[in-house]
Structure 1
């Protein structure tokens, strides 16, 4: 029986969903949303805060500030509330309303960017805002999830070893690419593993993380409008890009079986299912995909029919309406 005294001390590491009956291929989905932050971002947030405290960068009187599309902001808001730090999250108009309200309920302030930078999009505008804030007051401490190595180290220490314990014969691992902290931490761990593990990065169409032109992205979480500084492509075997309509269809296919997952998870599942369907080799691969989040924070977007039709058109759910 787990007994904790701080919210960041708990994360369920051993829960997997077998998706074979839904997608026709053996695929185990590692569920990372069962903690007090509701997403995998709690690991990176905790790692970055603890490192900043050890190094004396974060101390009494400091004000945490970070750019986030939602999930990391919620994680930092929880840790800040527990430790007594003020926290300011700089987000943008795509951030889910529930995430903003949750951060505010935890005592954090939320600043929402409404105008994207013409070249670097919302992320660039958010980063410019954070830099400007830090320049005006030296109490601000910016952990910088996009450049902070503690982001990937958190997953090198926790996420990847947890998968290795449960799947010692792992063949392929599907990981969503945002800041690439989870991707780089897991990829570095399995590069040292006793057997080859194929690392497949799943990115959102319209993201520039692995090259290509920027495009519209309405679902927060995965994808970047600037190249992720943490990314080292030498650790990545393959990249799968997923259109947002396929993210939505994967989420709705899952929820019709009672599994309410978030947009990042829908992207990863869609990419993994597509990759597995295209394989001509053995169909008994041991495949794992990482589910970064749950779906409650997407009830007014991905799971709201009016929003979907307004943004993507009438046919967005056509292929997700029937059970397999």
Structure 2
């Protein structure tokens, strides 16, 4: 029986959903949403905060500030409330209302940027705002999830070993790509493992994380409007790009079977099932990481007016798995070099 005194001390690590009976293809879905922050971002958040504390960057008078589309903001709100820090989350209009209200309920301040920076989209505007804050007051400490090595180290130390313990015969791992912290941590771990594991990144169409043209992305979570500084493509075997309409169909198809997952999970499942169907892999041992649950998407992904307004009346005309279309392409190998990022006190990147 777990007994805890702080909210970040609990995280369900051993729960998997076998999707074979739902989709007909072998895939074990590692559920990372069963903690007090509701997503996998709790792991990265506590790793970044505790590293900053150990290095003396965070002090009692510090004000945490971070750019987030939602889940990391909730994770940091949970930790800040527990540890007694003030926290400001800088987000944009795509942040779900329920996510914003949750952060505010935990005592955090939420700032929604009004516009988009020309080259970096909403993310560029969020980062510009944080840089201005840090320049104006050295009490602000920006953990910078996009450059902070503690982001990927959390998954190197925890998520990947958890999977390895449960699936010693693992063949394929599907990981969603946002900041690429989860992707890089798991990829680095399995590169050093005794067994070769194929690492497949799942990205959203319209994201430029792995190159390509930027496009509209309305579902927060996966995808980036800039190249992720943490990304090293030499660790990635393949990249799958999923249309948001297919993300939505996957979420609704899973919900019809009683599993209410979030948008990031729908993207990963859609990409993984498309890959498994294309390769006709029925005996492979495959795991996908489900970063989030669906309760924060009730007013977007699961709200019919929102869906029809953005994606048309027929977005849910069929959500059967054999109708899911998938644009998949091999990743170009172009390793990122440069100094590792660290938390920033009173300054920007």
State TM-score, norm by structure 1: 0.98
- Which deviations, in whole Å up to 9, do the C-alpha atoms of 1:238-258 show, x marking residues without a partner? 000000000000000000000
| SS, match of residue 319 in structure 1 | coil
Name 1:58's counterpart in structure 2: 58
Note if contact 2:11-2:34 (Cα within 8 Å) is conserved in structure 1.
Answer: yes
Q: After superposition, what is the alpha-carbon deviation per residue over 1:223-281, rounded to whole angstroms, capped at 9, x for unaligned?
A: 0000000000000000000000000000000000000000000000000000000105x
**Matches of 1:177 and 1:320, distance apart in 2:** 23
Once the two structures are superposed, the pairs formed by residues 163-202 of structure 1 within 5 Å of their partners are 163-202=163-202
2:319 corresponds in structure 1 to 320
Q: Would you say the 8 A contact 2:23–2:321 is kept in 1?
A: no
1:290 corresponding residue in structure 2: 289
RMSD of aligned C-alpha atoms?
A: 1.2
Using the alignment, how far apart are the partners of 1:21 and 1:279 within structure 2? 18
Higher relative contact order (CA 8 A, sep 6+): 2
Distance apart, 1:322 and its partner CA: 9.5
> What is residue 128 of structure 2 aligned with on the other side?
128
* C-alpha distance in structure 2 between counterparts of 1:139 and 1:164, whole Å: 41
Map 1:1-324; keep pairs closer than 5 Å.
1-280=1-280, 282-320=281-319
Report how many aligned residue pairs link the two structures. 323
Q: Deviations over 1:129-161 (max 9, x none)?
A: 000000000000000000000000000010000
2:336 — aligned with what?
none
1:4–1:10 CA contact under 8 A, matched in 2: yes
Unaligned residue ranges in structure 1 (runs of 5+): none
SS in 2 for 1:111: strand
Q: What SS is found at the alignment partner of 1:72? A: helix
SS at structure 2 position matched to 1:318: coil
SS in 2 for 1:88: strand
1:254/1:260 contact within 8 Å kept: yes
Preserved contact between residue 93 and residue 113 of structure 2 (Cα < 8 Å): yes
Matches of 2:17 and 2:123, distance apart in 1: 32
Alignment partners' CA distance in 2, 1:152 and 1:200: 16
Deviates more, 1:313-322 or 1:34-43: 313-322
Residues in 2 aligned to 1:21 and 1:184: alpha-carbon distance in whole angstroms: 30
* C-alpha contact (below 8 Å) 1:253/1:323 kept by paired residues: no
Tell me, yes or no, if the aligned pair for 1:77 and 1:103 is still in contact at 8 Å. Answer: yes
Runs (5+) with no aligned partner, structure 2? 324-349
2: distance between equivalents of 1:303 and 1:170? 33
Relative to structure 1, the CA distance from residue 57 to residue 302 in structure 2 (aligned partners, 3 Å threshold; closer, same or farther) is same
**Is residue 256–residue 323 contact of structure 1 (8 Å, CA) maintained in 2?**
no
Shift of 1:114: 2.4
SS at match of 1:104: helix
Alpha-carbon distance in structure 1 between the residues aligned to 2:305 and 2:321: 19
TM-score by length of 2: 0.91
4+ residue segments displaced more than 2 Å? 321-324
**Structure 1 residue 22, shift from structure 2 partner:** 1.4
d(CA) in 1 for partners of 2:74, 2:174: 24
- Which residue in 1 is equivalent to 2:330? none
